[in-house]
Amino acid sequence: MKEYKLEWWKILCIVLLYYSVVGGFLLPVPRLFILNESIRLFYFHFPMWCTMLLLFLLSVIYSVKYLRTGSLPHDDFAVEAAKVGVFFGVLGLATGMVWAKATWGAFWTNDPKLNNTAIGLMIYVAYFVLRGSLQDETQRGRLSAVYNIFAFAILIPLIFILPRMTDSLHPGNGGNPGFRLFDTSHDMKLVIYTAVVAFCLLGWWITTLLLRLKTYSRLQDEMD
C-alpha cells in the first residue's frame, strides 16, 4: 500500500469545511418569511445532497467500468462510493427533518420529495443486501453493478422529476418559489458554494479511506 499523505486537496477540504461551519453559524443571513435563522441549515442540507449525488454518480460510473473490464478495484470503488453516498443521504434527511420542524412544524410531512428521497435511499440499502446475499465474487460484482445502474436511474426521477409534478413544500417545487439569487446575500452564496465543494471533497476523502481499508483487509486475508 502507498504511504498515507496529507495531500493539498485534503488540506483544502479542511480549510473549506472550517470556513463553511464558522460562516454558516456566524455570517448574516437574509430575513425571509418563516425561514428566518433556520435558513442556516441550507448550508449543510443542500451540500449533503450534492455530495450524495456526486458519490452515487461516481459509483454508477465505476459499476459500468466493472461490467466492461471485470476489474475488482472498479467494483470496490463502486460499493464504497455508494456506502458514503448513503451516509450523506441520511445526513441530508436528518438536516432536512430539523429544518422541516423549524419551518413546517413537524419533522416529517407527507411531502413527495421527502418520501421519494427515503424510497431512493432504501433502494440503495437493498443494493448492499443484494451484495451480502451473494458469495461468488464475480456474480456479486456483476449483479450488483447492474442493480446499481438501475438504482441511479430510478433515483433521479424520484427526487428531481416526480416532486415537480405535484404539490411540494420544498422551494422550487409544486409552484413554490425557489431561492432566487436576489433573495440571498453575497455572504450566503459564498458560504453555500464553499460548503458544496468542501463536503464533496470530504465525501471523496472518506471513500478513499474506505478503499484503503478494504485493500488492507484483502491483503491480510491473502497473507493468512
CB 95 within 8 A of CB 50: no
CB 167 within 8 A of CB 174: yes
CB 12 within 8 A of CB 199: no
CA distance 140 to 128: 10
CA distance 207 to 10: 13
In a domain, 1, yes or no: no
In a domain, 195, yes or no: yes
User: pLDDT tens digit string along 146-181?
Assistant: 999 999 999 999 988 887 777 666 665 544 445 554
SS3 78: helix
In a domain, 31, yes or no: no
Which pTM was predicted? 0.89
DSSP 160: I
User: pLDDT tens digit string along 52-87?
Assistant: 999 999 999 999 999 999 999 999 999 999 999 999
Domain range for 53 is 9-26+36-223
CA neighbor of 60 nearest in space, from 203, 157, 156: 156
* Predicted local distance difference test score (pLDDT) of residue 216: 83
In a domain, 90, yes or no: yes
CATH number at residue 128: 1.20.120
